[in-house]
Every structure is written in structure tokens, then in C-alpha cells.
Structure 1
Amino acid sequence: MNYSIIAYIIGSILKLEAVFMLLPCITALIYQEQSGFAFLITMVICLIIGFLLTIKKTGNKVFHAKEGFVTVALSWLILSIAGAAPFVISGSIPDPVDALFETVSGFTTTGSSILSDVEALSHCMLFWRSFTHWIGGMGVLVFILCLLPLTGGYHMNLMKAESPGPSVNRLVPKVQSTAKILYTIYLGMTLLQILLLLIGKMPLFDTLCITFGTAGTGGFGIKNSSIAGYSTYIQVIVTIFMILFGINFNVYFLLLTRKFTQAFKHEEVRYYLGIIAFSTIIIALNTKHLFQNIGTAFQQSAFQVGSIITTTGYSTTDFNQWPALSKTILVLLMFIGACAGSTGGGFKVSRLIILCKTARKELTLCLHPNAVKKVKMDGKAIPHEVVRTTNIFLFVYVLVFGLSVLLISIDNFDLTTNFTAVAATFNNIGPGLEMVGPTQNFGLFSHFSKCVLIFDMLAGRLEIFPLLILFKKDTWKKF
């Protein structure tokens, strides 16, 4: 285990987090809020620890997969703890467990909240709360890769450990260049949404916070009604960008490099858009009696489908009151999730495709035992290693999910509440159903259950294994 490089990267992340906290400090100055001092105190602490960890340049920059998993897991834990400090110091969320839950929910782009009155927070706290979505959306380690001159190909292990999906590929030969391209696309789409929302006469502060939540597919609202109080134009723009941020960023790179044929043949994206279209139509027809006309039903259905499948979690209506068919579809979409290589969470459409094609292959082999059939995606054979890891991921995913539901059932809430609470946090969605529905919050759970759900949010964002590997004894052996 190369402890020196791990410490160096964690120190760099703490310094970067201190820089990010300048923005809520500026917000506090603009609105003349005293709670901004909490960010200054946290910045000083982060900078001191960060400089102590990076003051000595590491000579050994060898970075294997083990270091990649450990660094990513520890980085997200430390990032979340430091990010929660301003809430505790300012008294906005005085309970450390609640503050950590809110911050982890932000960085993991989950959007689940323990707050019953969001509007009671100061502007700088609301800004930081939403900005954590944007930071965590593409991944803080991916941002670090843009800046740190790690040698060799070892830093690909960082990107693989943090990026969602069954496999991660370079867009260009250099990993550092790949990270820069990803963040350029991410920033460009963010700025475009800000512009379009401003055209819709949305206040600048609201525009920034809502865009951060959309880009990171997080879903923290700055109003108790989430997005319901905004115009139809704004809701439509948010719907479109939620769906766009749920698309594999490789597709945008292909479009930018004018490889249109490859982009439009991307199998995962076609299934992703097809699932959205099909779900929207079914839910719109099922809920049309709840709205003024069929057009409104389609618009509201598209928003909620886009919000749930991309794991954003914004809401424009209380879908907990929708018919059982519509709620069932939304729960299924929670598990499907967005595309691999996007800012969205969930199981990922690509994994679902691989599992379905693997099942079809096995059925064929039952009928024709001597047949030679490969699982393909986008016309290319999927390596056996990817199929194997997908199957293992499904097993561990179900195991962690079931255990989490069992553990939080100690609080003695109903099954729907417990099941959808874990589904919402583990898949980084935000709202669930019943007592954790879109008009409710997660403050009702005990500290123990909140800790379980915090683990689920981190495990869901980091695709389980980087977090689980921390509990393996062999991980911490130096050689």
C-alpha cells in the first residue's frame, strides 16, 4: 500500500475543498450573513491539514488498483466530513449525524434530506448544499486528475474507482486529457442550462442552485415545494437537462469529434431514451385524470420520469398520491438508473442490458448446448470479465440492499417507507414513498438508521466495492 501518495491526494482534495468554499463565503458577503464565518473556519482547518499532507512531495507515484479504491473511498469520507463542518459550526444543522447525512447526500448527488424547512437556511448554506451536487456529480477525483501530474498509467485506477458504470474507457490516450474533456463538457452543459433558465426569468441565485442540482443529478431544492413553484418553461428546461446529464458523456465526446454514426448507434443511450419515453406515456395515461389536460399530464410525467431515472430527485407534484401503476413504474426506474459514464446513479442501463443479453444467451445454450454465442453491445463482444463483474455486482447490490432494509426496520416504520428509503439512498435518488415521499424528509429515522443510509449513499455513488474494500484486512498491508 502506497500510503504517501494516498495522503498526498487526500491533502490535495482538502485544499481544493477549501477553494470551493470561497463561493459560499462570497454568497454570505452578498447577503450579509454571519453564517459565512463557518466556511472561513472550515477553510482554515482544511488548508492546514491539506498543506501538512502535501508539504512533502512523494517520490513513489506508483498507483495500483488497491490504492485507487482506498483513495477514492477515504477521499469521499473526508470530503463529506469537512463539508458537514459549516452546518454544525453555524448551527444550521447542529446535530453532527444530521449534518453528515445532508452533506453526504449532497456530494453523492442523492438529494435525500433531513430538513423539514429548507427555506429556513441562509443563502450561503443553501448555495453550499446545492454546490456539493455539482462537485460530486462528475467526481472530485476526476477534477483532481485534471490538476495532479501523476506519472504513468496508474491514475486510470482513480478514474475507474470513482466513475459509475461497468467499465471506464479513455476518450483520448492520456487520462489527464480525458478528465479535462469530461469537465469541459460538464461545465459547458452547466453554463448552457444557467443561460436558458435566466432567459426564463428565474432569479440568479435560484438558477445557480437548481442548475447545480440538475447537472449533478442531485435534486436539493431551495424551496420546500422543490420545483413546483416555478413556471412550466423552467420545469421543461430542467426536465431536458436532467435527461441530458443522465446520458453517457462519451456520446457527447463523439458528437464533438463529429463521429455522429457512433454516437447515434450507442445502444445504452437508445435503451435509456426508450425507457423514458415508454414510462412517460404509461404514467401520463394513468394519471391524466389528476391534471387539467393530457398535455399537463405528459409534462408532469416526463419531469418525474426524468427526475427518477436520472436519480436527480426534483419533484413538481406529490407522486406519492399517484395510482399504484405509476408509483410502481417510478420505483422500478429508481433501480434502473441512468447511463454509465453520466452523473446519474442507480444500477445503470448498461448493466441491465448486459444481464438481459446474458440471460438470453443462457436460454439459447439450453436449447443448443454446442452453440457459440457471445454477448455483444454496440456490435462489439463484451469481455467475459465485464459480464462476470456485472453478475457479482448484482449479487453484492442485492445483498447490501436487503441488509440495509433489515437494519433500518429496527425503527419500526412500514415496509414501503423502509424499502423506498434504501432504494432512494442506495440508488442516489432522493425521495421515496410514504413517510419519505417527495413532501416528507428523512429526519424521522434514528441516528443508527441514518448511519446505515449514509453508508448506502456512499456505496451507491462509489459502486459499492471501493467502500467495502476498506473493511478487508489485506487492504491495509503495506506490501
Structure 2
Amino acid sequence: MSKLNFKIITHIMGLLLLCNGGFMLIATIVSFIYKDGVTMQIMLAALSTMFLGIILMFLTKEHQKSINKREGYIVVTFGWIFMSLSGTLPYLFSEAIPSFTNAFFETMSGYTTTGASILNEIEIVPKGVLFWRSLTHWIGGMGIIVLAVAILPLLGIGGMQLFAAEAPGPSADKLHPRITDTAKRLWFIYFGYTAAETILLKLAGMDFFDAINHALSTLSTGGFSTKNASVAYWNDQPLIQYIIILFMFLAGMNFILSYFGFKGKFGKFLKDEEFKWYIIFLVAFTAVSALIIYLKADPANSVIDHPMVYGEAESAFRHALFQVLAVITTTGFVSADFTVWTPFLKIVFFGLFFLGGSAGSTAGGMKIVRHLITIKNGILEFKRTLHPRAILPVRYNTKAVSKEIVFNILAFFILYMLSFIIGSLVLGMLGLDFETAIGGAASSLGNVGPALGKLSPVNNFDVLPAFGKWWCCFLMLIGRLELFTVLILLTPFFWRNR
């Protein structure tokens, strides 16, 4: 292996900081418009971040304009860390979150689109800071690296290695042969969906500030809200919740399918196995949940001060659909506390923490396609036992899946479950009860947001000790970047120059 090109790595870190500071300037404008009293603090955070970015880029302007796979992994992982570190500045400078540990947790939760929060009184936070909080979701949703891919060619740097490290799943579909054009098309769809949801939520009766913040959180499958009760605040306005349901569904779907849909190629939807099972899982779990809620659950206890209303049957269906989608897509919005919907449903929703949305979406988790290929391979193992000489390839979308991809997916599952077990053990060692420990680990690793026990939808992660918050940040990071990208940096052979 060749020596690492640290100059290009540092140069890209500078570019990411420059972009991050630019996004902070947008939050500065919002703060100025709403006169929330922290405009200068957010501007100082923006200028500080941009200045550091410019310095790093200037010091490394004489660099070799090529990047290999190892450098791609470093850029993605450290890019997320650098963005999160700089992203704490608006919280710290405005004193909305004076503790660095808490500020870093909130920021990492934002960029990884986890949506877990340590804020107890969200509605008193200055609007400019709240907007920045939602914006971190939106930036992280499609991936800061995909954004950089669209910019890097301007600097004469190819971006394929970065895109591969950012999206290491089994799907290799592209919209265009050039990766830059792919990134641009994905961002165009992403931006268009965000604008559409903002307009629809405003027309449905939501305040414009709340509308744009919830749109930013929905399309990124993040889950940060501007209200203490999350989307349960609008439990008496079903239209608002149905609009969010629609866009959670779109965000959890492969964005490439959205592109084909806009091109009129609807046959792609029918041929895509993952999309079919996405619908099947959604319908099945919603039906089971709605029926149990209607027959057994006590809607009045689902969310404090924001009960489920508007007719029992409709309410049961809407909240079941909302929460199933919120967990499958790892958006994490809350319309009701699913942990009080009978012990059976609590177990069902805990299982959904491990499902994840579609590959090529902004959702976290394992991804449905990995489950499908693992199950198919397991079934074929029975056949191979009976017919050891038969050639029985795993097929996905009628195409044979290579053994390398199958092995990669099986390794991913093992690594994911080991990470969950170790994550739970560490949280348990910190004194958390069993339900809270396994819920916190599964939620952080899957980038879901709400968990179980003391971290349930009506509570938050502020109850964790300081080390617990840092540990959950680590789980969020490896979960968002799909394990291998981060964990490979912890292996000795990765850093050896040969």
C-alpha cells in the first residue's frame, strides 16, 4: 500500500469546514429575521469555522490531486467528526447548550440523523439555534461527502472513492455514469422534496418556521422537532401528520427509484424487490399495531398532554402508521409513546430498530436489502445441504448476487450484532437498567432516536452519564457510516505503509 496523502485529506477537511460555516451563515440569517438575540454568536461560530477551513485549504493548496480508497475512508470518518466538532459552536457560543459533551452529542445526533436529544425544553431554545439543529440533519441526511463529491471536481479531484466509502451498501445503481452528476441529481431530488413538504405543511396550518424545520428533519430521516412533544403537538391536526407520513415514506425509499418515478419509469418500482418488501413490512406492521391499539391500548396515555384524538379507529391507524414508519425509516418523530402500547408492541418496535429503510435512502439501520439477501442465502443453505453439488446463487431483482457481496452482508450482520451487544454491555456497566441499555444501544446504532426505558419517546438522552453520551456518539457514527468505514480505521493493518 502506498503512503497516505495527508495533504489532500487535510485539504478536504478544510473544504468541509468551509461548507459547514456557510450553512451556519444561513442559521445566522434565520436568527436575524426572528430577532432571537443570538445572531452575533451564530455568526461568530460561522466565521470561526470558515476561517479555520480556509487556513487548512491554504496550507495544503500544493497537494497531489488524487485520492485512493484508504484516504476515502479517512476523509469520510474524520469529515463527520470535524463537522460535528465545528457544529457544536452555535450551541456553545449562544449558550443554548453550554456543556461541550451535551453540545457534541446533539451535533453528532444531528449529522448522523439519529434525532436523539439532550434538550429538556426545546421550545425556549433560540430559533436560529433550532434551525441550525435541524439543518445538521439535512446536511447529514444525504451525506456531506456526497455534497463534497459535487464540488471536488472543481478542484480537479475525483470523487468516486469518497462516494464508495459514504455509501458502502450492496446497491451499485447509478443515475449517470459520472459520480458527480449522480450526486447532483440526488441533491436536486432531496432539495425538491424538502421544499414540497415545507409548502404542504404550511398550507396544512403549520407555522412556516415549524414547517421548514420539520421538512429538514423528515427528508433526512432525522427526527429533531421544534416542539417538546415532537409531532404529537399536532395530534389534533391529522392532515399535518399525514403529510409527514408521506415524506417519511419517500425518504425511506431508494432515492434512485424517486428519480426513475419522475422520469415516468414506474416499472422500476414493480421490479424492485426491496421496494416491494418495504411496502409489505409497512402494511403488515401497521395493520398489527393499529388493531392492537384499537382493541387494547389506552390512547390517553400515549403522549403526555397530547392524547390521540379524532376518532378511535382513524387515530389508531394514523398513529400506528406514523410510528411504524418513523421507526422503520429511523426518522424517530413521535406522535405517541409506542412503549405503552402493550408489551407485545414494545417488543415489535424494538425489533423494528434493526430493520432500517431502503438502500440508497437517507434512513439508517441495517437496510431491508441486507435482510432479504441474508434470508435468501439462509433458505438456499437448506437446499445446498440436500444438493451439495448444485450451483444455487442468491438472486436479487432476478440477478445473481456475487459471493463477495453475500459474504460482506453476512459479515456486516455479525459485526452489527456484536456492536449492539458490546454497546449494550457498556451502557449496562454505567448503571443503566436492562431495557434502557439495550434500547439505547439499538437506537444509537440504528440512528433511530427514541428508545426504550428511560430513553423512551417521552424522555430524552440527558439522563445518560457523560461517558454514556460519548459512547452513544460513537455508536451513532459507526451506525451512520455502516460499520466498516469507521471500524476499519481501528485495525493496525489499515495504517501500515508497504
TM-score bucket (shorter structure): over 0.9
1: distance between equivalents of 2:272 and 2:433?
A: 41
Given that 1:227 and 1:314 are in contact with CA atoms closer than 8 Å, whether structure 2 keeps it comes out as yes
- Give TM-score, length-normalised by structure 2: 0.93
1: distance between equivalents of 2:449 and 2:196?
A: 25
> What is the CA deviation profile of residues 383-438 of structure 1, one whole-angstrom value per residue up to 9, with x for unaligned ones?
11111110111111111111111111122221111101111111000001121001
2: distance between equivalents of 1:413 and 1:245?
A: 33
Shift of 1:38: 2.4
2: distance between equivalents of 1:262 and 1:209?
A: 32
1: distance between equivalents of 2:186 and 2:278?
A: 20
Does 2:179 correspond to 1:160?
no
Given that 1:153 and 1:175 are in contact with CA atoms closer than 8 Å, whether structure 2 keeps it comes out as no
Unaligned runs of 5+ in 2: 300-310
2: distance between equivalents of 1:360 and 1:151?
A: 49
1:433 corresponds to which of 434, 452, 458:
452
1: distance between equivalents of 2:176 and 2:431?
A: 51
User: In the superposition, relative to structure 1, how do residues 232 and 381 fare at CA in structure 2: closer, same or farther (>3 Å)?
Assistant: same
Shift of 1:5: 1.4
Given that 1:61 and 1:150 are in contact with CA atoms closer than 8 Å, whether structure 2 keeps it comes out as no
Does 2:81 correspond to 1:62?
no
| Aligned counterpart, 2:335 | 316
2:403 corresponds to which of 371, 384, 392:
384
| Aligned counterpart, 2:106 | 102
Of 46-55 and 450-459, deviating more is 46-55
Greater relative contact order (Cα < 8 A, sep 6+): 1
1:144 corresponds to which of 128, 142, 148:
148
- Code of the aligned partner of 2:78: L
| Aligned counterpart, 2:215 | 211
| Aligned counterpart, 2:91 | 87
Percent pairwise identity: 36
Does 2:177 correspond to 1:173?
yes
Given that 2:294 and 2:316 are in contact with CA atoms closer than 8 Å, whether structure 1 keeps it comes out as yes
Shift of 1:169: 3.3
2:205 corresponds to which of 180, 196, 201:
201
Shift of 1:260: 2.4
- Code of the aligned partner of 1:33: D
| Aligned counterpart, 2:307 | none
1:251 corresponds to which of 242, 257, 281:
257
1: distance between equivalents of 2:368 and 2:187?
A: 22
1: distance between equivalents of 2:458 and 2:410?
A: 36
- Code of the aligned partner of 1:179: A
| Aligned counterpart, 2:228 | 224
Residue correspondence of structure 1 range 294-443 to structure 2 within 5 A: 294-443=313-462
Of 144-153 and 35-44, deviating more is 144-153
- Deviating 4+ runs (over 4 angstroms): 150-154
Any idea what SS the aligned residue of 2:15 has?
helix
Given that 2:152 and 2:158 are in contact with CA atoms closer than 8 Å, whether structure 1 keeps it comes out as no
Given that 1:108 and 1:458 are in contact with CA atoms closer than 8 Å, whether structure 2 keeps it comes out as yes
1: distance between equivalents of 2:403 and 2:39?
A: 52
Shift of 1:161: 1.2
Any idea what SS the aligned residue of 1:351 has?
helix
Shift of 1:464: 1.1
> What is the CA deviation profile of residues 320-340 of structure 1, one whole-angstrom value per residue up to 9, with x for unaligned ones?
211112112111111001001
| Aligned counterpart, 1:35 | 38
User: In the superposition, relative to structure 1, how do residues 241 and 101 fare at CA in structure 2: closer, same or farther (>3 Å)?
Assistant: same
| Aligned counterpart, 1:264 | 270
1: distance between equivalents of 2:226 and 2:168?
A: 27
Given that 1:2 and 1:478 are in contact with CA atoms closer than 8 Å, whether structure 2 keeps it comes out as no
- Code of the aligned partner of 1:35: V
| Aligned counterpart, 1:131 | 135
1: distance between equivalents of 2:218 and 2:202?
A: 15
User: In the superposition, relative to structure 1, how do residues 362 and 180 fare at CA in structure 2: closer, same or farther (>3 Å)?
Assistant: same
Shift of 1:176: 0.3
> How many residues of Structure 1 are paired with residues of Structure 2 in the alignment?
479
Shift of 1:152: 9.1
Any idea what SS the aligned residue of 1:341 has?
coil
Unaligned runs of 5+ in 1: none
- Code of the aligned partner of 1:269: F
Shift of 1:13: 0.5
> What is the CA deviation profile of residues 165-211 of structure 1, one whole-angstrom value per residue up to 9, with x for unaligned ones?
33333321100000001101111111111111111021100001111
Considering only aligned residues, what root-mean-square deviation do their CA atoms show, in Å?
1.6
> What is the CA deviation profile of residues 328-366 of structure 1, one whole-angstrom value per residue up to 9, with x for unaligned ones?
211111100100110001110000001001101111101
Any idea what SS the aligned residue of 1:443 has?
helix
1: distance between equivalents of 2:312 and 2:466?
A: 44
| Aligned counterpart, 1:19 | 22
Shift of 1:151: 8.7
Given that 1:164 and 1:340 are in contact with CA atoms closer than 8 Å, whether structure 2 keeps it comes out as no
2: distance between equivalents of 1:153 and 1:11?
A: 14
Shift of 1:466: 1.7
Given that 1:109 and 1:136 are in contact with CA atoms closer than 8 Å, whether structure 2 keeps it comes out as yes
- Give TM-score, length-normalised by structure 1: 0.97
Of 259-268 and 277-286, deviating more is 259-268
Given that 2:174 and 2:256 are in contact with CA atoms closer than 8 Å, whether structure 1 keeps it comes out as no
Does 2:236 correspond to 1:238?
no
Of 336-345 and 161-170, deviating more is 161-170
Any idea what SS the aligned residue of 1:335 has?
coil
2: distance between equivalents of 1:282 and 1:119?
A: 34
2: distance between equivalents of 1:199 and 1:377?
A: 41
Any idea what SS the aligned residue of 1:218 has?
coil
> What is the CA deviation profile of residues 421-459 of structure 1, one whole-angstrom value per residue up to 9, with x for unaligned ones?
111111000001121001101111111111110000011
Given that 1:164 and 1:345 are in contact with CA atoms closer than 8 Å, whether structure 2 keeps it comes out as no
